[in-house]
Amino acid sequence: EEIKVIRIEDVPHFVGQTVKIGVWLRQKRGSGKIAFLQLRDGTGFMQGVVVSADVDEALFKLAEHLKQESSFYVTGEIHEDSRSSFGYEMAVSAIDMVGESEGYPITPKEHGTDFLFDQRHLYLRHQKPYATLKIRDEIIRGIYDFFYQDGFLKFDSPILTDSAPEGTTELFPVDYFDQTAYLSQTGQLYVEAGAMAFGKVYDFGPTFRAEKSSTRRHLTEFWMIDAEMAWMHQEQSLDVQERMIAYLIQRVVDNCQTELEMLGRDADKLRSYTKLPFPRVSYDDAVKLLQDNDFDIKWGVDFGSPEETFLANYYKTPFFVVNFPKAIKAFYMKRHPTRDDVVISADLMAPEGYGEIIGGSERDTDYDYLKQRLIDQHLDLKEYDWYLDLRKYGSVPHSGFGLGLERFIRFVAGEDHIRETIPFPRTLNRLHP
């Protein structure tokens, strides 16, 4: 009878049966009598055991000489194994070599982070990137599901643009025939047009910022979700945002137990962040709180990482900072009804010092006001003619927000650095591999 070829994730269904799996060798150890093979196949990790007394000499020799990251089919009977976290292992009875591997660079010893990211194309095979990128996948699918269930239309905004809605200093220019185009910083302006056509829309794609800052939370290429809702004020937008965040965290807690364990991320702690509503603190009150705690911060400046970390430790859950100073926010944010110095905006801050994960606002609806704001911010009116049109033809209240995917993953997975959260990170100092 033909032996069934399966994947490691299906192993629990084959206890007591002999199966065949295509695998790579992560590591091995053993004595002259027994070889323990640490195997992986992309769906999971398991141990194969080769006992010299049970197999012919050639197989045992082969097992003992397998090199790290060589690939082969392994055949054997599946047993329960209460000592391993996976719970199963294979008693190996045959190995069919597929690909040799000589001098694999990422050895079991400790390596520096720079080295690991120089080897990112190989490092992806290891447990930490595996766990983080599985969580990324779960979150991505969760985002599509959330918006679908909530009645949003997926509305893809362009990546090549002629505008700089989030400021002109962080642009990547590209030659575009006889003019200059820029890689998109945010799809927001386009999803605003989409919201006037479809009511509730979102985009989800790569965005680019030529940030010269080399920090634990900045990428030059990152993925953003821009959501935009017509006929919605800021309070309703905050409701959507917190429901989305709680839903995504719950998905990861429910579906990524193994991965959270691999990363040493406490699932109970994550679960505690799904309690709604999230606190809302005004920028004014946040500044007061910081000043009362000996921060040397003046009203009107943006928070830095130390300020955000202090506030995060104070609230111990995700929280919104609302109504930032107008002078440090983008031109499109809605005016406050009674104050001239702040706008109807909100940043969602993650706990534990992971910092801002969402930026959003209600959008101003008035043609003349927005035109003046563009002029004040030295933006080119010609590039925004179509955007201003949205205020000419049936302008309605609308609000939206942008979630930084990698910022959010960094927080959920508990990663030290944002570069861990994307397959091939792009930063100030890295374009290769």
> According to the binding rule CB under 6 A, does residue 70 interact with ligand 4AD?
no
Give burial (CB, 10 Å; 0-12/13-18/19+) of 172.
middle
4-5 and 45-51 beta bridge pairing: unpaired
SS3 90: strand
- Would you tell me the crossing angle of helices 283-292 and 305-315 to the nearest 10 degrees? 90
Interacting positions 226-285 with Mg ion (CB under 5 A): none
Q: Whole-number minimum distance, CB 62 to ligand 4AD, in Å?
A: 47
- Residue 68 interacts with, from Mg ion, ligand 4AD, none (CB under 5-8 Å by kind): none
Q: Whole-number minimum distance, CB 117 to ligand 4AD, in Å?
A: 16
What does residue 377 show for φ and ψ, rounded to 5 degrees?
-90, 15
> According to the binding rule CB under 5 A, does residue 359 interact with Mg ion?
yes
Q: CB–CB of 26/39 below 8 Å?
A: yes
Which one of 26-34, 194-202, 334-342, 356-364 is the stretch in contact with Mg ion (CB under 5 A)? 356-364
Give me 100's structure tokens: 């040799």
> According to the binding rule CB under 6 A, does residue 163 interact with ligand 4AD?
no
Q: CB–CB of 21/8 below 8 Å?
A: yes
- Residue 211 interacts with, from Mg ion, ligand 4AD, none (CB under 5-8 Å by kind): ligand 4AD
> According to the binding rule CB under 5 A, does residue 404 interact with Mg ion?
no
Q: How many residues interact with ligand 4AD (rule CB under 6 A)?
A: 21
Q: Whole-number minimum distance, CB 301 to ligand 4AD, in Å?
A: 16
> According to the binding rule CB under 6 A, does residue 242 interact with ligand 4AD?
no
- The DSSP code sequence of 273-323 is TT-SSPPEEEHHHHHHHHHHTT----TTSPP-HHHHHHHHHHH-S-EEEE-
Q: Whole-number minimum distance, CB 138 to Mg ion, in Å?
A: 25
> According to the binding rule CB under 6 A, does residue 152 interact with ligand 4AD?
no
How far is residue 419 CA from its own chain's centroid?
Answer: 10
* C-beta of 351 vs 402, nearer to ligand 4AD: 402
Give burial (CB, 10 Å; 0-12/13-18/19+) of 221.
middle
> According to the binding rule CB under 6 A, does residue 357 interact with ligand 4AD?
yes
Q: Which residues sit at the interface with ligand 4AD, rule CB under 6 A?
A: 166, 186, 188, 209, 211, 218-219, 222, 224, 226, 356-360, 400-402, 404, 406-407
Q: Which residues sit at the interface with Mg ion, rule CB under 5 A?
A: 359
